Amino acid sequence: MTIRFDNRVAIVTGAGNGLGRAHALLLASCGAKVVVNDPGGAVDGKGGGHAAADKVVAEIKAAGGEAVPNYDSVADPASAANIVKTAVDSFGTVDIVVNNAGVLRDKTFHNMTVEDFDFVVKVHFLGTAYVTHAAWPIMRAKAYGRVVVTSSNSGIYGNFGQANYAGAKLAVVGFMNALRLEGQKYNIFVNALAPVAGTRMTESLMTAEMLAKLDPAFVSPMVAWLCSEQCQRTGEIWSAGAGYFARIEYREAPGVRITGRSPTPEDVADNIEKIADLSTSKVYRTSTEEVAAVVVGP
Ligand code: NAI
- What pLDDT digit, counting tens, does each position of 207-224 carry? 999 999 999 999 999 999
Query: Ligand 1: which of 25, 37, 38 to mutate, judged by most atoms within 8 Å of the beta carbon?
Result: 38
Examine the domain organization and report whether 238 and 266 are in the same domain.
no
* Per-residue pLDDT reduced to its tens digit, 94-105: 999 999 999 999
Please give the residue range of the domain that contains residue 103.
9-248
Q: What is the pLDDT of residue 298?
A: 61
Identify the domain boundary among 211, 229, 248: 248
Asked whether residue 24 is assigned to any structural domain, the reply reads: yes
Q: Could you tell me if 131 and 234 lie in one domain?
A: yes
Q: Same domain, yes or no, for 17 and 58?
A: yes
Nearest CA residue ID for atom 6, ligand 1: 14
Q: Is 86 in the pocket of ligand 1 (CB under 6 A)?
A: no
Q: Are residues 99 and 207 in the same domain?
A: yes
Could you tell me if 122 and 263 lie in one domain?
Answer: no
Q: Which of 130, 144, 157, 165 is catalytic?
A: 165
Residue 29 inside a domain? The answer is yes
Closest residue CA from atom 33 of ligand 1: 102
Give me the count of residues in the chain. Answer: 298
Single-letter code of the amino acid located at 120: V
155 lines ligand 1 (CB under 6 A): no
pLDDT in tens, 104-154: 999 999 999 999 999 999 999 999 999 999 999 999 999 999 999 999 999
CATH of the domain at 208: 3.40.50.720
211-265 tens-digit pLDDT:
999 999 999 999 999 999 999 999 999 999 999 999 999 999 999 999 999 999 9
**In whole numbers, what is the pLDDT of the chain averaged over residues?**
97
Is residue 264 in a domain?
yes
Name 242's Cβ contacts closer than 8 Å, sequence gap at least 6: 196, 213, 214, 218
Compute the distance between CA of residue 254 and CA of residue 207 in angstroms, rounded to an integer. Answer: 41
**Does the active-site annotation cover 165?**
yes
Q: Where does the pLDDT of residue 14 fall: very low under 50, low under 70, confident under 90, or very high at 90 and above?
A: very high
**Taking the model in full, what pTM does it have?**
0.97
Give the atom of ligand 1 at the shortest distance from the alpha carbon of 43. Answer: 2
Last residue of a domain, one of 226, 248, 270: 248
pLDDT of residue 297: 76
CB atoms within 10 A of CB 170: 19
The verdict on residue 3 lying in a domain is: no
Shared domain check, 62 and 24: yes
- Pair 140, 167 in one domain: yes
Q: Choose one of 248, 267, 287: the last residue of a domain.
A: 248
**192 and 63 inside one domain:** yes
Same domain membership, residue 259 and residue 199: no
Q: Ligand 1: which residue has its CA nearest to atom 8?
A: 14
Tell whether 4 is covered by a domain: no
Q: Strand 145-150 and strand 244-248: pairing?
A: unpaired
CB 67 within 8 A of CB 56: yes
State whether 238 and 259 are in the same domain: no
The CATH code of the domain that includes 269 is: 1.10.287
Give strand pairing partners of 69. 36
Domain match, 170 and 275 both: no
Residue range 148-190, pLDDT digits in tens? 999 999 999 999 999 999 999 999 999 999 999 999 999 999 9
287 within domain boundaries: yes
Is 2 a domain residue? Answer: no
Q: Is 200 in the pocket of ligand 1 (CB under 6 A)?
A: yes
Is 1 contained in some domain? no
Rounded distance from Cα 82 to ligand 1 centre (Å) = 19
What is the tally of structural domains in the chain? 2
- Asked whether residue 266 falls in the same domain as residue 174, the answer is no
In this structure, the residue with its CA closest to atom 14 of ligand 1 is 102
